[in-house]
Chain A
Amino acid sequence: MDWRLPRRWQVGLTLFVLVVVIPVALFGVSVDSAAPEPVPFQDTRAIGVASAEEIVADDTAAIPRVQVFYSQYQYVIGYYGLPTALAAINEPATRQQYGHPLVTYVTDYSNTIPSVGDDGRIDTERLPAWTAASDAVFVVDSGATTPVGEAIVPFRDRDDATTFADDTGGRVVSWATLSEQSFETDDGAVVRDRVAEQRADADAWVADRTELLDRERSVTVGPDDDLQAAIDDAPNGTTVAVAPGQYPGPIEIDHPITLRGPGATIAGDGAGSVLHVTADRVAIHGLTITGVGNQTRNPDAVAGDAWDANIELGYGHGDAAIKATGANETLISDVTVPHTPANGVLLRRSPGGVVTNLSVAGPEDWHDGFMGVIAMYSPTVIQDSAVTDGRDGVYLHRSDGTIIRNNTFRENRYGVHLMYSSTVLVADNRMAGQEYGGITVMTDPTRNAIVGNLVRNTATGISTSGSNSYIAHNGVTDSRIGITTTAINSLYEHNVVRHNNQGMRTGSVVATSEVTANDFVDNDRHAGASAGPLRVWRGNYWEDALTTPSGRTADRAYMPTDPVDGQRHRSMARRTVAASPVYQGLRELTGASPGLRSGSILDPDPVETPQNPELVETTAALHTDGLAGVSETASPP
């Protein structure tokens, strides 16, 4: 028997399927029915802790983790801690950029036998696995904490949750309840509001240390006297005055005195550090220091077994003109180091210090030198100082809350180099000719403020990292890249970038930062984008980018990364291309799916006039005349 349908039926059936069944089915099928499976946490773009904390908390169970697959975002975002995740998911900017969560996974503490240690840390006997957040219940108020705040602990198994809650005095809540609560994280704007306070704190900090200069004089030392003996004999809390002249080093100060000597030079023997401070509240004022040793590390040093022991050994044990170790609240003022093949000032485990009006010069080639000021585990105020020809002008390691202001850096590798340091304020510094970068932030710190700095002629003027930071009122000229926007969840405002190869450059696949009211002037490319979604930067001034043939400024969105738009300020012919209906048609809706776009920047509301006219003028002078063209003390905005 022939089972084949007549040919006419075959044609009819095919047509019916093509014209009716498939089209109807396309509209009938739900598009977000299949939820993706969880991925290993290290493969996500993880948000929520600074590297320093991350390393400390490198135990999978110590911080409950979350991963979210957003409807219009290609990258899986990981969050440390439920509060971090919930704050982000509920943020309107997140919705705008990423869409809604298609599925959210949390680490499941069922069957892991969790307990809370005396330090509040969660400990488990087995590693938690992933489970969908909607299938889980959560224990709050258990007293468990993480480096990012209170721990909310997810369980797939309600009985396990109840047991944990009973053991710890917590309560069990559902995902729905949790989602309705409001969680907030400090973003760049919070840091902005902190800057004035931090300046005032620094003023008070400096004023207090400066009082050390008022100590009564107990002895005056001349070039023929034994300086070390005079220091050793001076009573605590007095001043040792050093008459002009040359004194042999090295010298050690092991009790709280003030060493004061305008015109005096302490000359080391070219080996080791010249002045070594080992006591609290020592002040060194008005000295010139020479003869510094050339070792940048000490093979005999011991640094314990902390995660950063090797960093300390590599950077924290070199020779210095002045070395302070375990010396709190040290004041170093009006000190000159005409040449050092190693560090100028080294502060190790010496918090609360002030370095002011220090002048350090290194070898011509930075490879032969080391840091102007290096602070390890030593929050410090470093101000009104100058470092030339060193490796880094200022190098910080785990010195949260340091303030670096009103300094001048010339011809170093980096002007200011932040490692594992959060809540730092870098303000009103001037720098020119650093080989690699002006201000360079590494290792994902949080809540840093970089404000009012001027940077000229370097590879990357200001290179950011981490999160929740405030980068504002800076001017960068004549550099390969002006400012990078790698720090996420941050605010970049009122900066001026001019005469750079690239004014700003995006550096993170997470587009949660606000970039607004910046002026882009005369850059080869105003902005460039690296891998990641479309970044929406609102309300910036892109010089000459939107001028029309009639001389007016077009009122429309601008895409600095676009080959046509991006060169409008350099190519008149591209303005003709940009006016084409085809181009405009293509671009009109580009912002509709930012999370699914790649490698580009869009300013939907570019502005017609510079937002920071004074800084635009200052940077013009910086461009033409270098640091000589700008005033010594940049005025805080």
Chain B
Amino acid sequence: MSSLTIMSTLIRRELRTAARTRSYYLLGLAVGGILLGLTFGGGGAATGYIPTVVDLLLPLEVLVPIVAVAIGYRAVPSDLDRGEVAMLDTYAVSPSAYVGAVYLGRAAVLSAIVGVALLVVGLVVAAVAAPDTGVFATHSGVDSPILFGRFLVVTLLFGNALVAVVLVASIAVTSARTAIVAAIGAVLVVVVGGEAAILLGVLDGVFNEATLRLALGFVPNSAYRGLVFETVVGVLSAGESGYASPLISMIGLVLWTVASLGAAAGLLRWRIG
């Protein structure tokens, strides 16, 4: 079997497992419900996409990591517990291929849950957003579904980076029961710790504007927030930019993903080897 075939078999196995897991549907409903609740609660949806993004951004910074933990923490440990990883070894499946496949499967689940929820929110905005009064001629300004699309893409990039972080944390501990603790701990370290480190750095005057933007790119939450500010909300004001360096933030999120997956594969190799 070629490694590509193995990968696709494994991914399909992951997706089948996910499709059978009823709690994911519940999770999806819960996330959708929360986002819709926030959308209506925030009031921005009444007028357009950007106000909606502004309403949802901070809640999503908390919600998305939680979803990543819920989806990712058991994936590898339960296979390890059941000895399936050892069995895969007999088929000459490399740890990298295995980790990659598991990741892609889980990332697909997160993308489906968060993506569909945001799509529904987007459709709601498209349906209900309207000016308060028809007395005057109106237009939508720079507000457009494209900006909401960007928000969706950046949110998924953020969420999927956290799935990778959750995977590596869950492999670092010995059992599925402790995996959740490790996963939550890792997410906390990344989400809160990274932000706290930046804050400390700013307080101590370590950063100048350029290095701060660099540092923001390498903390997932900051990178996410910066990207949304820069590529979605900031579009409102021409010539106003510098909330983040989009390229660095994008690279930062991808690096978190790739590095976590690399570490996960290495750890797994070491554990079964």
Q: Establish whether residues B133 and A531, one from each chain, have CB atoms under 8 Å apart when the complex forms.
A: yes
Q: Establish whether residues A593 and B55, one from each chain, have CB atoms under 8 Å apart when the complex forms.
A: no
Could you tell me the distance between the alpha carbons of A585 and B63 in the complex, rounded to whole angstroms? 12
Q: Which single member of B41, B137, B231, B238 contacts A76 (CB below 8 Å)?
A: B137
Q: Establish whether residues B146 and A75, one from each chain, have CB atoms under 8 Å apart when the complex forms.
A: no
Q: Which single member of B47, B233, B238 contacts A592 (CB below 8 Å)?
A: B233
Contacting residues, chain B, for A39 (C-beta < 8 A): 137
Categorize the interface residue count of chain B.
35 or more
Residue A229 at the chain B interface, CB threshold 8 Å: no
Interfacial residues of chain B within 16-65, with CB under 8 A of chain A in the complex: 38, 41-44, 46-48, 50-51, 54-55, 57-59, 62
Q: Establish whether residues A531 and B146, one from each chain, have CB atoms under 8 Å apart when the complex forms.
A: no
Q: Establish whether residues A509 and B132, one from each chain, have CB atoms under 8 Å apart when the complex forms.
A: yes
Q: Which single member of A32, A75, A100 contacts B138 (CB below 8 Å)?
A: A75
Q: Which single member of B47, B57, B133, B238 contacts A596 (CB below 8 Å)?
A: B47
Nearest CB of B to A444, in Å: 15
Whether A26 touches B153, Cβ cut-off 8 Å, given contacts A74-B140, A75-B136, A596-B47, is: yes
Q: Establish whether residues B51 and A596, one from each chain, have CB atoms under 8 Å apart when the complex forms.
A: yes
Interfacial residues of chain A within 404-430, with CB under 8 A of chain B in the complex: none
Segment with Cβ contacts to B, from A64-72, A277-285, A493-501? A64-72
Residue B147 at the chain A interface, CB threshold 8 Å: yes
Contact bitstring A20-39, B, C-beta under 8 A = 1, else 0:
00110011010110001001
Interfacial residues of chain A within 541-586, with CB under 8 A of chain B in the complex: 581-582, 585-586
Nearest CB of B to A511, in Å: 12
Q: Which single member of A29, A74, A593 contacts B54 (CB below 8 Å)?
A: A593
Whether A586 touches B139, Cβ cut-off 8 Å, given contacts A509-B133, A593-B50, A596-B47, is: no
Q: Establish whether residues B238 and A99, one from each chain, have CB atoms under 8 Å apart when the complex forms.
A: yes
Could you tell me the distance between the alpha carbons of A595 and B142 in the complex, rounded to whole angstroms? 11
Residue B144 at the chain A interface, CB threshold 8 Å: yes
Could you tell me the distance between the alpha carbons of A598 and B59 in the complex, rounded to whole angstroms? 21
Q: Establish whether residues A598 and B144, one from each chain, have CB atoms under 8 Å apart when the complex forms.
A: no
Q: Which single member of A69, A71, A588 contacts B237 (CB below 8 Å)?
A: A71
Residue B235 at the chain A interface, CB threshold 8 Å: yes
Residue B205 at the chain A interface, CB threshold 8 Å: no
> Residue of A at shortest CB range from B143?
A596
Q: Establish whether residues A597 and B237, one from each chain, have CB atoms under 8 Å apart when the complex forms.
A: no
Contacting residues, chain B, for A95 (C-beta < 8 A): 237
Residue B131 at the chain A interface, CB threshold 8 Å: yes
Whether A588 touches B47, Cβ cut-off 8 Å, given contacts A39-B137, A595-B141, is: no
Residue B189 at the chain A interface, CB threshold 8 Å: no
Could you tell me the distance between the alpha carbons of A585 and B51 in the complex, rounded to whole angstroms? 13
Could you tell me the distance between the alpha carbons of A75 and B51 in the complex, rounded to whole angstroms? 16
Q: Establish whether residues B146 and A29, one from each chain, have CB atoms under 8 Å apart when the complex forms.
A: yes
Contacting residues, chain A, for B233 (C-beta < 8 A): 589, 592-593
Q: Which single member of A585, A598, A600 contacts B58 (CB below 8 Å)?
A: A585
Could you tell me the distance between the alpha carbons of A69 and B43 in the complex, rounded to whole angstroms? 23
> Residue of A at shortest CB range from B238?
A100
Residue A222 at the chain B interface, CB threshold 8 Å: no
Contact bitstring A71-89, B, C-beta under 8 A = 1, else 0:
1111110000000000000
Whether A43 touches B50, Cβ cut-off 8 Å, given contacts A26-B149, A69-B141, A595-B141, is: no
Contact bitstring A521-544, B, C-beta under 8 A = 1, else 0:
000000000111000000000000
Whether A71 touches B142, Cβ cut-off 8 Å, given contacts A100-B237, A596-B50, is: yes
Q: Establish whether residues A31 and B136, one from each chain, have CB atoms under 8 Å apart when the complex forms.
A: no
Q: Which single member of B141, B235, B238 contacts A73 (CB below 8 Å)?
A: B141
Whether A74 touches B237, Cβ cut-off 8 Å, given contacts A590-B54, A590-B55, is: no
Residue A262 at the chain B interface, CB threshold 8 Å: no
Residue A171 at the chain B interface, CB threshold 8 Å: no
Residue B13 at the chain A interface, CB threshold 8 Å: no
Nearest CB of A to B113, in Å: 16
> Residue of B at shortest CB range from A559?
B43
Q: Establish whether residues A532 and B132, one from each chain, have CB atoms under 8 Å apart when the complex forms.
A: yes
Could you tell me the distance between the alpha carbons of A593 and B232 in the complex, rounded to whole angstroms? 11
Contacting residues, chain B, for A595 (C-beta < 8 A): 141
Could you tell me the distance between the alpha carbons of A531 and B42 in the complex, rounded to whole angstroms? 17
Whether A599 touches B132, Cβ cut-off 8 Å, given contacts A72-B236, A592-B54, is: yes
Residue A102 at the chain B interface, CB threshold 8 Å: yes
Nearest CB of B to A575, in Å: 17
Q: Establish whether residues B136 and A593, one from each chain, have CB atoms under 8 Å apart when the complex forms.
A: no
Q: Which single member of B41, B47, B58, B237 contacts A589 (CB below 8 Å)?
A: B58
Contacting residues, chain B, for A585 (C-beta < 8 A): 58-59, 62
Nearest CB of B to A238, in Å: 59
Q: Establish whether residues A71 and B141, one from each chain, have CB atoms under 8 Å apart when the complex forms.
A: yes
Contacting residues, chain B, for A27 (C-beta < 8 A): 150, 153, 231
Interfacial residues of chain B within 155-192, with CB under 8 A of chain A in the complex: none
Could you tell me the distance between the alpha carbons of A29 and B149 in the complex, rounded to whole angstroms? 11
Contacting residues, chain A, for B143 (C-beta < 8 A): 72, 596
Q: Which single member of A76, A593, A599 contacts B139 (CB below 8 Å)?
A: A76
Q: Establish whether residues B50 and A598, one from each chain, have CB atoms under 8 Å apart when the complex forms.
A: no
Top 6 closest A-B pairs, CB basis?
A: A531-B132, A43-B137, A585-B58, A531-B133, A39-B137, A23-B153
Question: Can you spell out 28 A-B residue pairs with CB atoms less than 8 angstroms apart?
Answer: A26-B149, A27-B153, A29-B146, A39-B137, A43-B136, A45-B136, A69-B139, A69-B141, A70-B141, A72-B50, A72-B143, A73-B141, A74-B138, A76-B138, A76-B139, A99-B142, A99-B237, A531-B131, A532-B133, A585-B58, A586-B38, A586-B59, A596-B141, A597-B44, A597-B51, A598-B46, A598-B47, A598-B131
Interface residues of B (CB under 8 A from A): 38, 41-44, 46-48, 50-51, 54-55, 57-59, 62, 131-133, 135-144, 146-147, 149-150, 153, 231, 233, 235-239
